[in-house]
Structure 1
């Protein structure tokens, strides 16, 4: 592995109406503003098998991103930890999420279905750091169902225009889980989702594809936890309620 492709993670806009309806009516005291977190994405030359497991040596050597849960008062049974790792090569952006979860919820199987309403992970990303108002969204659940789109717009208090008709190409998703889906009688342990996104999907919004060492992208990594009222993310959107699309 070698270093390259610096990501600066940031939330991007208020939530979509469907997402907002699922958020419990609770608020938080906002912390002081801090600098945006950054993450240096390592380049892999070994290739990653998309199998929903943290098996490759490159994954095990990759520094983790620990999510925060700033809306903890909305959580059932306490905050659940989430860890993500990212790698890249000339063809793909690779992401793996590890989610602790005592109650696994995943029913959506259709493409572009409402995966955000259950256990799901997300990435919003753009290779153009000068235009955070235009970005690509990928939202995935335990079943491996994918909701993908392009969002257009800009500013702190806006609902972006979402182009759901856009379809990404060549995306690979695999998951694994320890527990029983949609059965809250038992206690589960968690799940893993692994995704490879061909870099060609990020063309046409500026930025270099494939990137070069030292390039900066803007991105956000998020997690929802279905009926449990859990919302985790890396870069704090500093909103009273969960709002993953907030700038």
Structure 2
């Protein structure tokens, strides 16, 4: 089995505890990311039309204070907004290229979850989603983004404070999660999802389709 097939669509996403201190910018070191469990996807929101040139790899690490995510995104084209707020926040960021994660720590409320997005030029948005509601989360997230134009890859790291998600991270808990990408300047754009939402038209807001996120002490899955 090829590495690409291994990354395809595992049943669960795994966040590995970060065992060494972060780098000078407060993000995981390359060796820490190397311990994380990769998952990947390259199909559209219906699980069809695979495009290896737009494959997304996701890795997750955690500490008691921070959930770290890294998106490694292959791309065909880049389309971004040229402007944002002074802190990099950009409303309606999803109208350009983005990588997204929807997190649902509280499994008892299917319709409430947190949304985080980051663009290839480092703009971001975070939202608290509930039925009929969409509020700025003001999570305090940090991000670091680099782009390799020669390889046609952009990499985004997110540092999300645990306190904006739960009062205390319980490593024994199982959260619900989904990961997405959007690419393209005009319709039809490429709407990609780790767990396909199966809707007739592109729609990521389908919490019934979320997968599971578990927290482990090491790459082998030990608590």
Shorter-chain TM-score range: 0.7 to 0.9
2:68–2:159 contact (8 Å) kept in structure 1: yes
Q: Which residue of 1 aligns with 2:32?
A: 58
1:45: Cα distance to partner?
2.4
Please point out which of 229, 236, 244 is paired with 2:196. Answer: 236
Paired position in structure 2 for 1:218: 176
Shift of 1:103: 1.4
Check whether the contact 1:121–1:221 (CA below 8 A) recurs between aligned residues: yes
Question: Deviations for 1:38-60, whole angstroms, at most 9, x for unmatched residues?
Answer: 12211112133487x98521211
Structure 2 counterpart of 1:16: none
1:123-153, CA deviations, whole angstroms, 9 ceiling, x for partnerless residues? 1112111212111111111121111111112
Structure 2 CA distance for aligned equivalents of residues 141 and 174 of structure 1 = 10
CA distance in 1, matches of 2:33, 2:10: 24
3-state SS of 1:227 partner: coil
> 2:144 is matched with which residue?
174
User: What secondary structure does 2:163 align onto?
Assistant: helix
Counterpart in the other structure of 1:91: 65
Instruction: Report the CA distance between 1:65 and its aligned residue.
Output: 1.1
Paired with 2:158 and 2:165, the residues of 1 have a C-alpha distance of 15
Q: Which consecutive residues of structure 2, in runs of 5 or more, have no partner in the other structure?
A: 1-8, 208-223
Question: Compared with structure 1, are the counterparts of its residues 50 and 84 closer, same or farther at alpha carbon in structure 2 (3 Å cutoff)?
Answer: farther
After TM superposition, give the deviation of residue 74 of structure 1 in Å.
9.8
**1:36–1:58 CA distance, 2 compared to 1 (3 A):** closer
CA RMSD of aligned residues (A): 3.0
Aligned counterparts of 2:110 and 2:24: Cα–Cα separation in 1: 29
TM-score computed with the length of structure 1 as normaliser: 0.68
Q: Which residue of 2 is the match for residue 82 of structure 1?
A: 56
Verify the 8 A CA contact 1:79 1:230 in the aligned structure 2. no
TM-score (norm. length: structure 2): 0.75
Bigger relative contact order (CA 8 A; separation at least 6): 1
User: How many Å separate the matches in 1 of 2:72 and 2:28?
Assistant: 9
Change (3 A) 1:109 1:123: farther
5+ long unaligned stretches in structure 1? 1-34, 154-159, 180-186, 204-208
Is structure 2 residue 120 aligned with structure 1 residue 148? no
Cα distance, 1:239–1:128 mapped onto 2, change above 3 Å: same
